[in-house]
Amino acid sequence: MNIQNKKALITGGGSGIGFSIAKTFTEGGAHVILVGRNEEKLKSAVGSLKNAEYIVADVSSDADVKLLVETVKFDHGGIDILINNAGVSFYVPAVFSEEFKEKTKQEMDINFHAVVNLINQFLPDLRDRGDAAIVNVASVLAYVPSIYAVTYSASKAALHSYSQSLRLHLEREDADVKVFEVFPPLVDTEMTAGLDTPKIAPEVIAKDLIKALLGDNFSVRSGVTEDMYRALLASPENALAIMNSN
């Protein structure tokens, strides 16, 4: 699909991957609406972009999502592309104490339940728009989990499974809404700031996403994600060992 003159809503758009996607989209002729909880970040992001607006909202809040959907529909004329990028990770181990209980709930709520809710709230309007798209930002860990981030891995695996089902469902009902998935490896963002390991720039993810949209390539596997995916196809056991070799 062509993004020129399309309107895209990007959750977690104030920084990191979300901001890089917003920048790349606006440079390609799209209009973007950035969504996030931190208004200062959103203001700063919008101030450095053209054809950009922002809405403050917590995507894990039902009340915020209801107001967000209404605001987008009635004040912004709807959207053509929904990009679910907002996410959290607390690097919870496989065996964890009571202190991690709330963190695991937040990961599942924001990384999975909130995305499903947002999609279902926006889907009727996306169907009506025609030539629309949903982009779900998952992770390489959706393919192969890390023992250091088990519930994050599980939340992204759940999102991957849901995305596949949603794509098939929409194809079978001939809805003109495409479902794309992005599987980043470690990206140089605030979320990974404390990790001393190779990372790729968020701009790489954004550029790869644009190419995928233009070519209707529904799976975006940047950097080492492609290598890990091929390793998974060859041997799930070996892929798991590689992912958790350190």
Give the active site residue among 54, 91, 143, 152.
Answer: 152
- In the residue annotation, 152 being an active-site residue is answered as yes
Q: How far is CA 215 from CA 2, 44, 124, 180, 211, in A?
A: 9, 32, 25, 11, 6
Place of tokens 């192969």: 144
Contacting residues for 129 by C-beta, under 8 A, at least 6 apart: 78, 79, 80
Element housing 58 (H / E): none
Classify each residue of 71-85 as buried b or exposed e, where b means 16 or more C-beta atoms within 10 Å of its C-beta.
ebeeeeebbbbbbbb
Residues 54 and 35 sit within 8 Å (Cβ to Cβ): yes
Could you give phi then psi for residue 63, rounded to 5 degrees?
Answer: -65, -45
Nearest to 154 by CA among 202, 111, 95, 114: 111
Compute the distance between CA of residue 133 and CA of residue 185 in angstroms, rounded to an integer: 23
Catalytic residues: 152
